[in-house]
Structure 1
Amino acid sequence: MRGPLHRPAVMLAGLMTLGAAASGCGIRPTSVPVDAGPAPSRVACTVSQDALTPQFEGVTVQVYLVCGAQLVTAERSVRIPESKGAADRVRFAQALLDALIAPASGEEKDAGYTTALKGPLTVSAARPGDPAGTLRLSREPEALSAVALSQVVCTFAENTPAAPDAQQILLGGPGGDPARGYSCTSEMKSRPDSTATLGEIAPSPRARGSS
């Protein structure tokens, strides 16, 4: 009588057949992990000088993009006459934001460059009571991703610092919260996704005068 008692024998025969087939193909079972070759190479994070040639007349600035999980500089041309770039700070800051939001060029993509900053995002001047040099974003700085905020902070600090020779920027949002100071540090550049980006509350001129 054929029934459940014959199933183990049938299964064993099937396994033996599979083993013989594998042996016939030159494949031997092993418990050692198979080396699939070297890991993919890291991105270059280097763009040729030909790709950095400005495409129109304007001010050439350095903005911070993302490559290899770090912040790296890339050259951009912003459509502001050089004679007005320093005077019209808000307009200049908006041009920097637009350059950060713009997608990477073909050469930059090939080199591994990306941007974490997404639009729309605008910048406005300081409000009454804000410290001098404050820039107000249309979104709260803390609402941006850590990487995007690091890009903004380092790009602004490089090109429009709150004070001469300072790697700090004063940022606020559209609400009534006070502006905060953000510093572009080497740690922020090397680990933009994990650096604490929340700066100190910047004292207003009235608060400084009353202390």
Structure 2
Amino acid sequence: MRSTAPHSTTAAATALRRPVLVLAALALLGTLTTGCGIRSTSVPVDAGAAPSRVSCVLPGGRESSDSGDGGNLPVRVYLACGSRVSPVDRRVALPDGDDSERLPVARGLLDALRKQPDSEEEAAGFKTAVPRALKVHGPSEGDPAAALRLSEPLRDLPAFALAQIVCTYADTAAAGSDRSVIMGGPAKAEDGAGPGGSQEAEPLRRFRCDTDLRTRPDAADNAGTPL
């Protein structure tokens, strides 16, 4: 009759080795984790402020804000929010004293865009990138009748500013019948000009409020079609 003692001894040795193997595996896992840059520490780590989350949505049923006295009209203006420009309903006072319709509408809307958002708009994450000193003028000599010229070169506008202006103008009398906006910078630049004392007007471009312009702040650099 064979003795079963050796089998019992082997089983017992195997049972003893299992905890050792488990501990070794855990130690190896800890080493690999440390090698991947994950390190346990008892010292509090300041990772900075948590990323802010904005809704880009105004409270339902709120009344549109006024931007002045007089004949205020309900309009939709575009403000910067998060990584895009989004529409906000407002009531805008359109200026008087101009024979054409396009220019006073463009000026009234630009006035609205230059103003800081109200408390509700700000709480929802809306901002404006349009400079407070920016102005809009009618066409220069030789320009199409529908052209608008800003007081600053388009390339010098802050990110989002051009998208705010184009998209705000697109659905109004400031745009053409095809909802495109013909716009350029100053007609002349007196400062820093050549020997003649002035330089050529910034070329006009035709803009559309497309997805790229609404969602990419850097799209303004290459947006528009030269006339």
Q: Same fold judged by TM-score > 0.5?
A: yes
Map of 1:138 onto structure 2? 151
More relative contact order, 1 or 2 (CA 8 Å, 6+ apart): 1
Matched, 1:150 2:163: yes
Moved over 3 A (4+): 32-36, 53-57, 83-87, 193-198
Letter in 2 for 1:47: L
What SS does structure 2 have at the residue aligned with 1:107? helix
Structure 1's unaligned 5+ residue stretches are 1-29, 203-211
1:146 partner SS: coil
Q: Does 1:113 align with 2:113?
A: no
> Cα RMSD (Å) of the superposition?
3.1
- Map 1:48-197 to 2 at 5 A: 48=59, 49-52=61-64, 54=66, 57-80=71-94, 88-160=101-173, 162-164=175-177, 166-174=178-186, 175=188, 176-194=201-219, 196-197=221-222
Report sequence identity in percent: 35
Is the 8 Å Cα contact of residues 213 and 223 (structure 2) preserved in structure 1? Answer: no
For residues 146 and 196 of structure 1, the distance between their equivalents in structure 2, rounded to whole angstroms, comes to 9
Contact 2:166 2:209 in 1 (8 A): yes
Hey, which of these two has a bigger chunk of helix by percent? Answer: 1
Number of residues of Structure 1 aligned to a counterpart in Structure 2: 170
Structure 1 residues 90 and 161, CA gap change in structure 2 (3 angstroms): closer
CA distance in 2, matches of 1:114, 1:86: 32
Residues 181 and 207, structure 2, Cα contact 8 Å, conserved in 1 = yes
1:130–1:178 CA contact under 8 A, matched in 2 = no
More divergent stretch after superposition (108-117 vs 166-175):
166-175
Deviation of 1:43 after TM superposition, in Å, equals 0.6
- Structure 2 unaligned blocks of 5 or more: 1-37, 189-200
Shift of the alpha carbon at 1:160? 3.3
The alpha carbon displacement at 1:110 in A equals 0.6
Deviations 1:147-190 (A, max 9, x none): 111111111122235421x2321112222233111121012112
Q: 1:147 to 1:179 in 2, by over 3 A?
A: same
